[in-house]
Amino acid sequence: MKSKFIFVIIIFSFLVSRFPSPIFSQHFTSDSYIIDWGNFNITSGRKTSVNYRLTDTVGQNAPGLSEGDNLKIKAGFQYIYDLSRVISFTIDKLNIDFGTLIPGIGVTDTNLLTVTTPSGRGYQIMAQENHPLWINPSNFIPNTSCDSGNCTSTLSAPWITSDKYGFGYNVTGIGATAYFPDSTYFRPFADFSKNESSVVIASEPSPVKDRQAIVTYRVLISPLQGAGDYENYITYTLVPRY
């Protein structure tokens, strides 16, 4: 009886090995790697006609995300276009305190802005002050006009001397180079109290993840500046590129 059972098992194993089911696999090679996939899509891609565009994947055994220690498999159409829809904005601190200002000595402080944008979209960061640094509207620190008196809320210029008084800012980072060529370039904030609209201080056309921009505020007062608490606030606006 036992020998009959073993015989049947051997015959069955033989038959199974003779009639294998088809397996779809892929073989990829490069100078450094050889990748053999046990299973991959039978077909996938973009199909277009005059009126429609269709993207598809067919044949994956287990659609979905599979993760191991050193690998991540994204099977199925939903993983081809791994679209993130979230836009996020981070500012490291909201209070900027210049401390006690000394005439003729520029004081700086910084803000770190961090941006993440969704797939396919860039960003623009805009900034605006509610009013100049002031105790009251008649007692204020002027917005900077930079060393040559030519910088405006939309145009930056060098500001390194210690006898051009005012309040201004510089931005460094990949997205800011079009607006501030280097860290010596400053400009005043767009002034809401003068009906000036927010202006772009950093932007990029492509998606970014945790892109950082450093805003450096600089204030330099004259010996004639009256004592007191000078305050304003800056509003930063982040929007995606459409």
* Cα–Cα distance measured from residue 111 to residue 90, given in angstroms and rounded to the nearest whole number: 10
- Stretch of 15-23, 77-85, 149-157, 158-166 contacting another protein, by CB under 8 A: 77-85
- Examine residue 203 and tell whether it contacts another protein (CB under 8 A): yes
Q: Is 89 in the site for another protein (CB under 8 A)?
A: yes
- Residues forming beta bridges with residue 108, ordered by sequence position: 218
Query: According to the binding rule CB under 8 A, does residue 238 interact with another protein?
Result: yes
Q: Which of 123, 105, 117 is CA-nearest to residue 162?
A: 105
Paired tokens of 209: 């993840």
Secondary structure class of 40 (helix, strand, coil): coil
Asked whether position 56 contacts another protein by CB under 8 A, the answer is no
**Nearest distance in Å: CB 170, another protein:** 16
153 contributes a contact to another protein by CB under 8 A: no
Helix (H) or strand (E) holding 14: helix 2-18
Write the DSSP assignment of 156-190 as a string of letters: -EE---SSS-EEEEEEESGGGTTT-SSTTEEBPPP
117 near another protein (CB under 8 A):
yes
Residue 107 binds to another protein (criterion: CB under 8 A):
no
114 and 201 Cβ atoms separated by less than 8 Å: no
80 binds another protein (CB under 8 A): yes
Q: Which of the ranges 19-27, 60-68, 142-150, 231-239 carries the binding residues for another protein, by CB under 8 A?
A: 231-239
Interacting residues toward another protein by CB under 8 A: 46, 48, 50-51, 53, 80-83, 85-96, 111, 114, 116-122, 124, 134, 197-198, 200, 203, 205-207, 231-242
